[in-house]
């Protein structure tokens, strides 16, 4: 009984993430015997937990996100009396496979390739300050505290780049799609004409204790390395693989010579990238059902002898440790499929350290490019409304309103004082504001009387 199974690869997912909100600050006063006028002792709220994505090399596709689409980090604890600060919420760490491209709801994007790398996809809300923090020489007993802010939330799109362990290469109609479909549950198009595969098709090969991603690389033609046919776009897809399976048709429908076909593919791979030419190979002689058993066995012996070192006079083409193993397969009858699956699971290295992989190391050396533009120094805008009143917009002032209870007179006075310090009142007056006019900030309308 075979020790592997195949399943369709999930390379897209959409999830909803919500970071934890910050805990509220505490409004509290010391209550001790023989201390008639204890001062404020409210502690601060804890920060909410963040949602973190971590590149996990034990994963190979996004199937887990089909079963669970919502991820919520815990919120921070509220502050308490006696200056007890609330605990921070724990971060929620979610594993994704190497090669995952992440797009946040606001357009910010990340690319997770190196195992162990992390990115905070949703930041937790900051905790509110307790009333102890607002005590001063002129306000010795503040009766208000800040609320914690909500954490970030939104939809995140995940896409898995082609980061295959094994790449199937060969001329159009060599039988790659049929072979991949037989070994995994991928559903490539199969037909009797060139360029059946116009996009890479991936499937997952599962062994007893590991997974491999197999990619059907679209058919190459002579001149592909110079851009002919499907060209560079498709050759680039095999650059990250660690083993190539060269699929060679035993009986090409066009009557071409298999040896010439083999030479075309090898020449194009070498011309595109020297690293490709150095990758380990497995040669698969496909469509064995279209030739006689004797013809298939003779072809296997001939190709195996071609790859045999000179010192090996007796060569076993079925040797799993051969430099280039040669197998005969038939997607139609299943011949050689189990043998090929077992060989791939054995020969593909588990995972070299990231620093030894020249492709991944090269990506680490690329500096992150960011564009910084001067921000509005005020950080807010003031708009006079047609029906009377004013609207103030800006992250800083909106956060200020979200932190405070405007039904609390002391909190409202503190907010008005902060609006003075931020220059909001001065900007309102420049637009014709008078004390007592309605002001809308973050959807909250209140009567502002700076005096």
**Which stretches within 39-95 are classed as H helix?**
64-67
Give the other-Cβ count within 10 Å of 378's Cβ.
15
Q: Find how far residue 312's CA is from the centre of its chain.
A: 47
Can you read off the two tokens belonging to residue 283?
């040669």
pLDDT of residue 314: 47
pLDDT of residue 106: 93
Residue pair 224/172 in contact (Cβ under 8 Å)? The answer is no
Does the reported pTM lie above 0.95? no
pLDDT of residue 9: 58
Residue ranges covered by each domain of the chain: 8-161, 166-365, 381-447
| pLDDT bucket at 198, cuts 50 / 70 / 90 | very low
Instruction: Give dist(CA 60, CA 211) in Å, integer.
Output: 7
Tell whether the model's pLDDT for residue 239 goes beyond 90: no
- For the 381-447 domain, the top CATH level (class) is alpha beta
Q: Are strands 201-206 and 211-216 parallel, antiparallel or unpaired?
A: antiparallel
Q: What is the pLDDT of residues 70-94, one digit of tens each?
A: 999 999 999 999 999 999 999 999 9
| pLDDT bucket at 204, cuts 50 / 70 / 90 | confident
Does domain 8-161 fall into CATH 3.40.30.10?
no
Task: Pick 269 or 262 by higher pLDDT.
Answer: 262
CA distances for 54 relative to 66, 98, 120, 205, 359, angstroms: 18, 9, 9, 23, 20
Does domain 166-365 fall into CATH 2.60.420.10?
no
For the ranges 245-249, 372-376, 388-392, the lowest mean pLDDT is seen at 372-376
11 Cβ contact partners less than 8 Å away, ≥ 6 residues apart: 61, 62, 159, 160, 202
CA distances for 317 relative to 282, 297, 326, angstroms: 11, 10, 6
Element (H, E) at 262: helix 258-272
Burial state string for 290-327 with b = 16 or more CB within 10 A and e = fewer than 16: bbeeeebeebbeebbeebbeeeeeeeebeeeebeebbb
Integer Rg of the chain from CA: 33
- Strand-by-strand arrangement of the 444-447 sheet: 381-384, 390-393, 438-441, 444-447
| Cα–Cα nearest to 243, from 275, 202, 221 | 275
pLDDT of residue 317: 43
Tell whether the model's pLDDT for residue 395 goes beyond 80: yes
pLDDT of residue 268: 78
416 — alpha (psi -120 to 50), left (phi > 0) or beta? alpha
Q: What is the pLDDT of residues 86-122, one digit of tens each?
A: 999 999 999 998 888 999 999 999 988 888 899 999 9
Over residues 165-179, mean pLDDT: 82
Give the other-Cβ count within 10 Å of 10's Cβ.
18
Over residues 311-333, mean pLDDT: 68
Task: Pick 340 or 235 by higher pLDDT.
Answer: 340
Q: What is the pLDDT of residues 7-66, one digit of tens each?
A: 555 678 999 999 999 999 999 998 777 666 678 999 999 999 999 999 988 787 788 898
Query: How would you class 421 by CB atoms within 10 Å of its CB: exposed for 0-12, middle for 13-18, buried for 19 or more?
Result: exposed
pLDDT of residue 232: 45
Mean pLDDT of the chain: 79
Residue pair 323/283 in contact (Cβ under 8 Å)? The answer is no
End-to-end CA distance of the chain: 85
């Amino acid at each position: 009984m075979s020790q592997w199974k195949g399943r369709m690869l999930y390379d897209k997912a959409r999830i909803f993430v919500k970071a934890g909100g910050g805990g509220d600050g505490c409004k509290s006063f010391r209550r001790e015997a023989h201390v008639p006028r204890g001062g404020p002792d409210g502690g601060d709220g804890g920060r909410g937990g963040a949602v973190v994505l971590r590149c996990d090399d034990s994963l190979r596709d996004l199937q887990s996100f089909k079963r669970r689409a919502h991820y919520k980090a815990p919120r921070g604890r509220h502050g308490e009396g006696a200056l007890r600060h609330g605990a921070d919420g724990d971060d929620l760490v979610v594993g994704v496979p190497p090669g995952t491209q992440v797009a946040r709801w606001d357009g910010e994007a990340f690319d997770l390739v190196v195992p162990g790398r992390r990115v905070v996809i949703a930041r937790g809300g900051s905790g509110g300050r307790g009333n102890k923090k607002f005590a001063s020489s002129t306000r010795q007993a503040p009766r208000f505290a800040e609320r914690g802010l909500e954490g970030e939330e939104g939809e995140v799109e995940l896409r898995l780049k082609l980061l295959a362990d094994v790449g199937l290469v060969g001329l159009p109609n060599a039988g790659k799609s049929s072979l991949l479909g037989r070994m995994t549950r991928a559903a490539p198009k199969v037909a009797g004409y060139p360029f059946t595969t116009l996009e890479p098709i991936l499937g997952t090969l599962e062994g007893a204790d590991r997974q491999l991603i197999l990619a059907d690389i679209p058919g190459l033609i002579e001149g592909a390395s110079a851009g002919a046919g499907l060209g560079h776009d498709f050759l680039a897809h095999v650059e990250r693989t660690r083993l190539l399976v060269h699929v060679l048709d035993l009986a090409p429908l066009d009557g071409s010579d298999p040896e010439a076909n083999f030479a075309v593919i090898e020449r194009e791979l070498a011309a595109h990238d020297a690293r490709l030419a150095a990758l380990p190979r497995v040669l698969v002689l496909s469509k064995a059902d279209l030739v006689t058993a004797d013809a298939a066995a003779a072809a296997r012996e001939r190709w195996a002898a071609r790859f045999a070192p000179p010192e090996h006079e007796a060569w076993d083409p079925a040797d799993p440790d051969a430099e280039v193993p040669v197998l005969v397969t038939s997607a139609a009858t299943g011949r050689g499929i189990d043998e090929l699956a077992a060989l791939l699971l054995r020969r593909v290295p588990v995972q070299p350290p990231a620093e030894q992989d020249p492709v991944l190391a090269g990506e680490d050396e690329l500096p992150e490019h960011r564009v910084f533009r001067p921000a509005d120094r005020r950080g807010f805008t003031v708009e006079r409304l047609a029906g009377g009143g004013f609207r103030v917009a800006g992250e800083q002032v909106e956060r200020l309103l979200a932190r405070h209870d405007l039904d609390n007179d002391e909190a409202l006075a503190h907010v008005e004082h902060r609006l003075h310090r931020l220059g909001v009142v001065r900007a309102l007056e420049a637009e014709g504001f008078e004390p007592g006019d309605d002001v809308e900030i973050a959807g909250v309308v209140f009567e502002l009387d700076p005096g």
